[in-house]
Amino acid sequence: MLRPTFLGFRTATSGLKVNQSVMDVIGQNISNINTKGYTRQRLDTTSLAFNTSSIKFGPTGVVIGQGVNANGTSQFRDPFLDLRYRTQAAKAGSEQVQTEALGDLEKIMDEINNDKINEQFSHLVEQLRNLTSNPSDPVMEGVVRTSAQMLTQMFNNYSNQIDTVRDQQLNYLEDGAIVRVNQLMENISKLNKQIRDDNLSGNPALELNDQRNLLIDELADYMDIEVVTTPLPIGAGKTIDELSIVLRGQTDADGKSIKLVDNDQFGKLDIDKVNSTDDKVMLKFTKIDGTTDSDFNSKIKGGQIEGYLKILNGKGDFATGTDNFEKSQGVLYYRSMLDTLASTFANEMNKLNISKEISDIPALDADGNQVKDAEGNLMYEHPLFWSDEAEITAGSIKISQAWLKSTGSYLINKNTPSEGNDDTGATDNILKMIDLFNKDHEFKTPGGVDIFKGKIQEFLAHTITRLNLQKADTQTSYDAYAEGQFQLDYARSSMSSVDMNEEGVNLLQYSKSYNASARLMTVLDEMLDTLINRMAV
Amino acid sequence: MRVTTGMMSNKYIKSLGKSANELYYLHDRVTTGRKFFTGSEDPVGAIKAYKLRREYRLTEMYDSSIRDVESFYTSAETNLMQISGNMERIYDSYLRGITGTMSADDREAIAKEMDNLQQSVLTSLNAKFEDKYVFGGTSREEIPFTLVDGKLQFKGIDVETMDETTYNKLVGETINVDLGLGMKFDDSGNVNTDTVFNMSMSGIKFLGYGKDNLYSLIGEIKDKLRDPDFSIDDISPYIEKYEQQKKQVLVNATDIGAKSNYLEFLELRNTSNQDNLNAKILDVEYVDPAEAILDFSMQRYAYNAALSMGNRILENSFIDFMK
């Protein structure tokens, strides 16, 4: 086969060009060594050879390749690792939100490090005991009343603080998580459009891909998502990928997957409403086609959004519906536990402060509510505790006006009068009040579900311990998922991050290759000089 | 596995943070002496701690209740000794009065003395301790022993005409206190008397009721002494009745003594309970200081090692050796 005279120069030029490009890629890698989300790039090269298929006769003699060709840049990235990372992120996100909220609740209720409501119960019992040394003494009764008042104020305070935690969580969900999710969906769709346009014109848009992957990673923290890519033919046998994001494993009424982002379009997440009857937070999702899905709560599995819904909607034993978030123990569960404690305690105390037999007093109606007369006064003979609402709750419990205004002895010390003219020194009924703290009570939900049988303070300890255990559990899960997430990110980094040593070695290697190509050019030049100027002179 | 500089520094920062966290936690342990700071760190420990604290708080309350009752009994004992002393003196006067060799003036003098002693007994019976009448049963506001038209009344009921049922009811008045005997109520809301301590004392128990009550007895002896037709035969029969009542007072004094001893035993038992609970609380909630300091020192060592490692891990790369 006839060899063109300047054939070797093409080979040398391609070597120079490709090695220069590699150096540029190395430069890009080194300069982005600390850029968040940057994926290490490489230049894809192939060796060049003659195409002999179009010539009439087969080539004679040896066929030698004609240099190197740069096909394009690509990234070191494993989509499977991305998938695993994002699944893990959704799990970690949910546990993280719950751990933080439960930590806030624990700060309110935990009594390991300082004395709070449990100690105040003990204080009240102590004052009642002191009263047995001086029954009917208005001064000593005043001390009991002050202690009881402190207790009611603590209940109010707990209830307030728990409500504050709930408001905060609702705020984090509404103005934090949901706003961010909507931003992310919008930004991802914008990047989708840019990347598609770039791809159409032959630009791989690797840096934009990195940006988009970062946003998808973040979105995975909020919801359990799945990334779907669809190849789109653009003619000449070429395809580009279109990206959409769906909720993993969830379908709408028509059995179609729920698309959060579809190429350059995106949906919108909102809080539909907060039910006034049961305080339930309802999410709605405006789909890409403009229709709304108002039963979006049931579609949420995993991610921070799930964490918020569990904390906000969770009622545990107090759940009446079948909503999956209602069954978990959220803020409302712990508030209801405190309400149960406050009402059980107050009603039992009120039932005791009577001078007649218990059966004479209409204590509770069929629904378990306190019976009040036309003026709204409790029908107890000498109520100790009171609520302006229909039922005593932790938030509304207070000392009754009658007790507050009493100047003499108000606590009944004896149910059955004695023979003589004075039994103000008797302690029988006060002992009954003390015994209230010693004996077992049955704690029930308003729906009548048994939640606990035991002493008043044991129920409180039971509630706090439940919180402790739940916090410890979610913390352990979170630590495990977060560690898994870190490990997966570590594995991802192992593939995608830039290594200084490698780039240094490449730097040396490719600068040498560049020099070699230049050398080839010089040698070829010398050969031509020999051929043209020196031969047959 | 391919390990890059970025991975190394990320992992290093993470473990350094973890190490520092642990260091501060152990530091808190040393300074507070506590094993855990929130229930979620050690839920089982927290359950135990809450229970032990409640029980310990109870023993504190029992302790103060037992002391209260003890001082009440001391006061009762003092007053009862006084009454007993007065009765002894009345008995002496009585023996002097019945010799029959005395003139009416002498007898009047003895009767006068008895007047005073009788008054004194009444005062002792109405003795108060911390706003409570020691021998008044459940009385607190009304004086238990009163004289209405020269007749003795206990809690507003005439002692001389009192019947046995009323007497039993009055003597049976209770001031129960919970001294850690496991107070229990039955289903109808009555306290099980074995599980509480009854500190009520009715003066009428040793004063007696009906015609032969101590106060009336002394009154009658006085009347007989003042009687112009005084004769030994008239007054002699009272000696037996009087001696009987005097014995009653002494029996009650011994009874109180026995109860005081019982209280001392309760106090001792409670204190030892308290010590046991305290030891358990220390075990559950607090760390051994030596162990805490050792843990802290070890962690400080690990933290310092991690710090000095950092420089070496991130020190050089191939770039530093390129020519």
Q: What is the pLDDT of residues A162-195, one digit of tens each?
A: 999 999 999 999 999 999 999 999 999 999 999 9
Tell whether the model's pLDDT for residue A393 goes beyond 70.
yes
* C-alpha distances in Å from residue A243, one per residue of A182, A212, A222, A444: 17, 10, 19, 52
CB contact under 8 A, B41 and A414: no
**Ranges A67-76, A373-382, B33-42: which has the least confidence:** A373-382
DSSP letter assigned to residue A325: T
Q: What is the pLDDT of residues A229-282, one digit of tens each?
A: 999 998 888 889 999 999 999 888 888 899 999 999 999 999 988 888 888 899
CB contact under 8 A, A494 and B1: yes
Q: CA-CA distance, B239 to B231, in Å (whole number)?
A: 14
Best to test chain B binding among A40, A431, A496 (most B CBs inside 10 Å): A431
**Alpha carbon of B196: minimum distance to chain A alpha carbons (Å):** 9
- Pick from B2, B53, B156: which is nearest to A420 by CB? B156
pLDDT at position B100 is: 63
CB contact under 8 A, A106 and B39: yes
Name A266's Cβ contacts closer than 8 Å, sequence gap at least 6: A185, A186, A188, A189, A260, A288
pLDDT at position A372 is: 59
Contact B19, B302 (CB under 8 A): yes
Mean pLDDT throughout A51-60?
Answer: 71
Q: B52 pairs with which residues across the strands?
A: none
Tell whether the model's pLDDT for residue B232 goes beyond 90.
no
Contact A519, A19 (CB under 8 A): no
Q: Are strands B145-148 and B151-154 parallel, antiparallel or unpaired?
A: antiparallel
CB contact under 8 A, A122 and B57: yes
pLDDT at position A357 is: 45
CB contact under 8 A, A500 and B177: no
Amino acid at B206: F
pLDDT at position A359 is: 43
CB contact under 8 A, A501 and B36: no
User: Which chain B residues contact residue A439 at CB under 8 A?
Assistant: 185
| pLDDT band at A355; cut points 50, 70, 90 | low
pLDDT at position A83 is: 94
CB contact under 8 A, B4 and A495: no
Angle at CA of residue B219, ends B217 and B223, nearest 5°: 115
CB contact under 8 A, B155 and A422: yes
* C-alpha distances in Å from residue A530, one per residue of A6, A12, A524, A525: 14, 19, 10, 9
Sort A192 into a burial class: Cβ within 10 Å, 0-12 / 13-18 / 19+: buried
**Alpha carbon of B40: minimum distance to chain A alpha carbons (Å):** 4
User: Which chain A residues contact residue B49 at CB under 8 A?
Assistant: 112
- Pick from A431, A495, A497: which is nearest to B176 by CB? A431
CB contact under 8 A, B139 and A425: yes
Q: CA-CA distance, A122 to B265, in Å (whole number)?
A: 25
Best to test chain A binding among B140, B185, B193, B196 (most A CBs inside 10 Å): B140
Tell whether the model's pLDDT for residue B182 goes beyond 90.
no
For A78-113, letters b (16+ CB in 10 Å) and e give eeebbebbbbbbbbbbbbbbbbbbbbbbbebbbbbe
For residue B281, give the chain A residue with the closest CA: A112
> In A387-455, which ranges are continuous DSSP H helix?
401-405, 428-436
* C-alpha distances in Å from residue A153, one per residue of A120, A148, A395: 11, 9, 9
Q: CA-CA distance, A364 to A370, in Å (whole number)?
A: 5
Name the token pair of B258: 């026995």
Q: CA-CA distance, A395 to A340, in Å (whole number)?
A: 11
- Pick from B50, B68, B140: which is nearest to A118 by CB? B50
Tell whether the model's pLDDT for residue B251 goes beyond 90.
no
Q: CA-CA distance, A459 to A443, in Å (whole number)?
A: 8
Amino acid at A360: D
| Distance separating the N- and C-terminal Cα atoms of chain A | 28
Residue A441: its H or E element: strand A441-444
User: Which chain A residues contact residue B14 at CB under 8 A?
Assistant: 486
Tell me the three-class secondary structure of B113-175, residue by residue. Answer: HHHHHHHHHHHHHCCEECCEECCECCCCCCCCEEEECCEEEECCEECCCCCHHHHHHHHCCCC
For residue B56, give the chain A residue with the closest CA: A122
Angle at CA of residue A48, ends A43 and A49, nearest 5°: 165
Q: At what angle do helices B104-125 and B43-97 cross, to 10 degrees?
A: 170
Domain B72-255 is classified in which CATH homologous superfamily? f41 fragment of flagellin, N-terminal domain (1.20.1330.10)
| pLDDT band at A373; cut points 50, 70, 90 | low
Tell whether the model's pLDDT for residue A361 goes beyond 50.
no
Mean pLDDT throughout A26-30?
Answer: 95
| pLDDT band at B246; cut points 50, 70, 90 | confident
CB contact under 8 A, A494 and B7: yes
Angle at CA of residue B305, ends B299 and B307, nearest 5°: 105
Q: CA-CA distance, A434 to B176, in Å (whole number)?
A: 12
The distance from CA B5 to its chain's CA centroid, rounded to whole angstroms, is: 72
pLDDT at position B5 is: 85
CB contact under 8 A, B54 and A457: yes
Tell whether the model's pLDDT for residue B44 goes beyond 60.
yes
**Alpha carbon of B138: minimum distance to chain A alpha carbons (Å):** 4
Mean pLDDT throughout A439-464?
Answer: 91
Reported pTM: 0.86
**Alpha carbon of A499: minimum distance to chain B alpha carbons (Å):** 5
For A363-400, letters b (16+ CB in 10 Å) and e give beeeeeebeeeeeeebebebbbbbbeeebbbbbbbbbb
Tell whether the model's pLDDT for residue A496 goes beyond 90.
yes
ipTM over 0.90: no
pLDDT at position A138 is: 85
CB contact under 8 A, B139 and A464: no
Residue A453: its H or E element: strand A450-454
Best to test chain A binding among B21, B38, B190 (most A CBs inside 10 Å): B38
pLDDT above 90 as % of chain A: 61
> In B208-323, which ranges are continuous DSSP H helix?
214-226, 232-235, 237-285, 289-313, 318-321
CB contact under 8 A, B4 and A499: yes
Tell whether the model's pLDDT for residue A81 goes beyond 70.
yes
Best to test chain B binding among A98, A427, A432, A440 (most B CBs inside 10 Å): A427
Nearest to A82 by CA among A229, A197, A233, A241: A229
Q: In the block, which residue shows the tokens 């208005």? A: A138
pLDDT at position A360 is: 45
DSSP letter assigned to residue B37: S
Name A161's Cβ contacts closer than 8 Å, sequence gap at least 6: A108
- More confidently predicted of B228 and A48: A48
pLDDT at position B316 is: 77
For residue A130, give the chain B residue with the closest CA: B65
- What mean pLDDT is reported for chain B? 87
Q: A262 pairs with which residues across the strands?
A: A244, A265
**Alpha carbon of A157: minimum distance to chain B alpha carbons (Å):** 20
For residue B68, give the chain A residue with the closest CA: A133
CB contact under 8 A, B319 and A505: no
**How many pairs of residues across A and B have Cβ atoms under 8 Å apart?**
208
Q: Within 10 Å of residue B124's Cβ, how many Cβ atoms?
A: 21
Q: CA-CA distance, A521 to A17, in Å (whole number)?
A: 13
For residue B198, give the chain A residue with the closest CA: A427
- More confidently predicted of A322 and A380: A322
Strands (E), A349-408: 385-386, 398-399
Q: What is the pLDDT of residues A107-150, one digit of tens each?
A: 999 888 888 899 999 999 999 988 888 888 888 889 999 999 99
| pLDDT band at B70; cut points 50, 70, 90 | very high
For residues A25, A31, A32 and A34, what is the CA-based torsion angle, rounded to 10 degrees?
A: 150
* DSSP secondary structure letters along A482-508: HHHHHHHHHHHHHHHS--HHHHHHHHH
**Alpha carbon of A112: minimum distance to chain B alpha carbons (Å):** 6
**Alpha carbon of B36: minimum distance to chain A alpha carbons (Å):** 8
User: Which chain A residues contact residue B10 at CB under 8 A?
Assistant: 490, 493
Q: B158 pairs with which residues across the strands?
A: B153
For residues B84, B90, B92 and B94, what is the CA-based torsion angle, rounded to 10 degrees?
A: -140
Best to test chain B binding among A356, A409, A421, A466 (most B CBs inside 10 Å): A421
For residue A123, give the chain B residue with the closest CA: B57
User: Which chain A residues contact residue B53 at CB under 8 A?
Assistant: 118
Helix (H, G, I), strand (E, B) or coil at A93: helix
pLDDT at position A350 is: 84
Q: Are strands B128-129 and B132-133 parallel, antiparallel or unpaired?
A: antiparallel
Nearest to A305 by CA among A176, A469, A202, A191: A176
- Pick from A420, A425, A497: which is nearest to B6 by CB? A497
| pLDDT band at A89; cut points 50, 70, 90 | very high
* DSSP secondary structure letters along B204-231: HHHH--STT-HHHHHHHHHHHHH-TT--
